[in-house]
Amino acid sequence: MPVPHSQDLPRPEYPRPQFAREAWLNLNGEWQFELDRADTGLERGLNERELTGRITVPFCPESELSGIGETDFLEAVWYRRTVTVPAGWGDARVLLHFGAVDHDTTVWADGVEVARHRGGFTPFTADLGEVAAAGRELTLVVRARDSRHGPQARGKQATWYANTHCHYTRTTGIWQTVWLEPVPQTVALRRPRVTPDLASGSFFLELPLSGNAPGHRVRATLSDEHGVVTAAEARADLDLTPRLALAVPGDRQRVWSPQDPHLYDLTFEVLDAAGESVDRVRSYAGLRSVSVDGKRLLLNGAPVFQRLVLDQGYYPDGLMTAPSDAALVRDIELGLAAGFNGARLHQKVFEERYLYHADRLGYLVWGEFGDWGCEVGARDDNQRPDASYVAQWLEAVERDYSHPSIVGWCPLNETYQHLHDRITQLDDVTRAMFLATKQADGTRPVIDASGYAHRVPETDVYDAHCYEQDPDAFAKIMNGLAAGRPYVNAGPDGRPWSVPYRGQPYFCSEFGGIWWDAAAAAEAAGNESDASWGYGERPRTAEEFVARFTGLTGVLLADPDMFGYCYTQLTDVFQERNGVYRFDREAKVDTALLRAAQQRPAAFERTR
């Protein structure tokens, strides 16, 4: 039976809209909390006693919204909470879900260890097994380790005390929703994979199960605003992952696109031998395709110029956690208002509800991992590519596979290493992440690494980052694509970081970054301690900012071989003052002017 949820809870909405069960219990809100700066808490018995502080989950202790606001290094943190399993859940098996915990997590329930997980960006689940039963009170304890020196994937989190340059306040511990959910003891659905096939007007479905039982079946039902469109069933007692196909009749086919982000409702069920539904989840899907034709990247068989903006997903009060669901929606609406039709979700795996809103608003996005600046050697104490990168990235791809708004994958960003005649660990991990992504998802293009060190010759997409601020000089830098010699990032000494370009679809995936904030510029006048920054010389007026923005975007819009761009960036982030909007999401300039600049026809969209 459903559990009523108080709207007074922080982030009360269901966190997983594409795999939603009716019955669940949101565990956000107040938890006991204690810092463990030396990571000695286990030895001191922190898993066995009451904790001394309080925190508001799902906000990390570094954030204001957590009620703590401690921004120093936190080697480990502990959480504790007592919860009563709803009596109406009967004999169901209880799962404890974590949206994301940074970085190395151990979970106990009534003193029994029930889960371990490594990785700060991806979800995991603890099966509470015999520990939890309907009506029973149980105590949950969570320890999260987040070493300052460990070679872990951090994205843009600073490895020194203060925010500096492109590094921001750290996130430690729980930073996405925590919830309980009942599932059948026998056969339960695991996360389905929904693959649209526009050519046949069908959806192909994979329905992983927790096990098999004689006589069980799975059923999928597709609906739209007029009612049921089609349904299909398959045996669930022969395979751990039954497969179904749902062919959409021609008169009910409606293609998902930025202009018409139509979503079909989906229901998945497990039926027992008597035909009774024993597990049921709600989902949705969009019918669309992404394809590659030479240098062209196509959406639904047609060129759609990707006017993307770099979105880092930070908030002044919640850091990597949006203060509300409405804040996620607002960020997409701000991008659309400025003329962008999508975003590169930069250096973090975004909350899944962001993708839900992108799906329903028709906002194109590229999924990305948090690994900025990883290399082997000089930065071993920061982010070092290893097997954990592959494992965590595959968790992200699995979570987000079925979202129609995702049009490409970007496992790595700005990796640094010269090409030479010896295979390196970076080469191995880059290729492993590329191949793993292609195996996990054959429906979307994959870029091996955005900017700098392209290490995989067969990467589906090639790109470069360029922050030249003069539009005329920028045009000269970017003018070689037609001749098959596009701009490629190289090391400071001119030696190449990347394998040669081989005619793939190409875009400038970072440019702009114009350093502009009128108030900050006025405050900084004559102030040598000003720590704010952006690219190039500050414009003197808003009009100059708009002119530079118009000139830079115009260069790329005019290139018939360029399938898109990604402008840096949507908002300021702390000291980084190069956003279209301020960190508080207030506009810096009249966004109608930026929208007008981007609505000029793109030469790419006129090619056939």
| Dist CA 67 CA 159 (whole Å) | 23
Residue with tokens 């007074």: 8
Q: Residue 444's pLDDT is what?
A: 98
Tell me, what's the pLDDT at 13?
A: 98
Asked if the model's pLDDT at residue 275 lies above 70, the reply is yes
Distance CA 57, CA 140 (A): 13
The pLDDT score that the predictor gives to residue 419 is: 83
CA 438 – CA 118 distance, rounded (Å): 23
- Per-residue confidence (pLDDT) for residue 380, from 0 to 100: 47
Residue 184 has pLDDT above 60, yes or no: yes
Mean pLDDT within 322-350: 98
Confidence bin at 31 (pLDDT 50/70/90): very high
Residue 604 main-chain phi, psi, to 5 deg = -60, -40
Share of the chain above pLDDT 90, in %: 86
Q: Is the pLDDT of residue 517 over 60?
A: yes
Q: What is the per-residue pLDDT across 360-402, written as a single tens digit (0 to 9) for each?
A: 999 999 999 999 877 766 544 567 788 899 999 999 999 999 9
Spatial distance between the Cα atoms of 417 and 13, rounded to a whole number of angstroms? 43
Per-residue pLDDT at 382:
62
pLDDT of 93 higher than 90: yes
Of 17-26, 208-217, 530-539, 547-556, the one with minimum mean pLDDT is 530-539
Q: How many Å apart are CA 364 and CA 584, to the nearest integer?
A: 23
What pLDDT shows up at residue 371? 92
The DSSP H or E segment spanning 34 is: strand 29-35
Phi, psi of 394 (to 5 degrees): -65, -35
Residues in contact with 497: Cβ distance below 8 Å, sequence separation at least 6, in sequence order:
416, 417, 418, 419, 452, 453, 454, 489, 490, 491
Q: Could you tell me the two tokens for 47?
A: 């898993």
> Tens digit of pLDDT for each residue in 400-414?
999 999 999 999 999
Q: Check if the beta carbon of residue 396 is closer than 8 Å to that of residue 367.
A: yes
Structure tokens at 485: 């010699």
Residue 116 has pLDDT above 80, yes or no: yes
* Three state DSSP letters for 452-467: ECCCCCCCCCEEEECC
Q: Is the per-residue pLDDT at 92 higher than 80?
A: yes
DSSP E strand boundaries for 429-514: 449-452, 462-465, 506-512
Residue-wise pLDDT for 206-243, tens only, equals 999 999 999 999 999 999 999 999 999 999 999 999 99
Whether residue 526 is predicted with pLDDT greater than 70 in this model: the reply is no
Q: Which of 16, 228, 44 is nearest to 124 (CA)?
A: 16
Average pLDDT over the chain, rounded to whole? Answer: 94
pLDDT at 507 over 90: yes
Where does residue 51 rank: exposed (0-12), middle (13-18), buried (19+ CB within 10 A)?
buried
Half-sphere exposure of 63 (CA within 13 A, CB side): 24
CATH architecture of 25-183: Sandwich (2.60)
Smallest Cα–Cα separation from 383: which of 152, 75, 147? Answer: 152
CATH architecture of 199-285: Sandwich (2.60)
Token digits for 258? 């930025």
DSSP 17-78: TTSB-S--EE--EEEEEEE-TTS-TTTTTTTTS--SEEEEETS-TTSTTTT----S--SEEE
Q: Grade residue 608 by pLDDT with cuts at 50, 70 and 90.
A: low
**What one-letter code names the amino acid at 470?**
D
pLDDT at 494: 86
Mean pLDDT, residues 175-189 taken together: 97
Q: In this structure, which amino acid lies at residue 136?
A: R
Long-range Cβ contact pairs of 322-325 (< 8 A, separation 24 or more): 322/11, 322/351, 322/354, 323/65, 324/11, 325/11, 325/13, 325/353
pLDDT surpasses 60 at 576: yes
Angle at the Cα of 449 from the Cα atoms of 445 and 455, rounded to 5 degrees: 105
Strands 412-415 and 137-145: unpaired
What is the CA angle 533-535-536, rounded to 5?
110
* Residue 420 confidence class, pLDDT cut points 50, 70, 90: confident
Residue 529 has pLDDT above 80, yes or no: no
CATH for 302-606 is 3.20.20.80
Average pLDDT over residues 542-548: 97
Domain boundaries, the chain: 25-183, 199-285, 302-606
Task: Determine the pLDDT at residue 130.
Answer: 87
C-alpha torsion sign, points 536, 538, 540, 545: positive
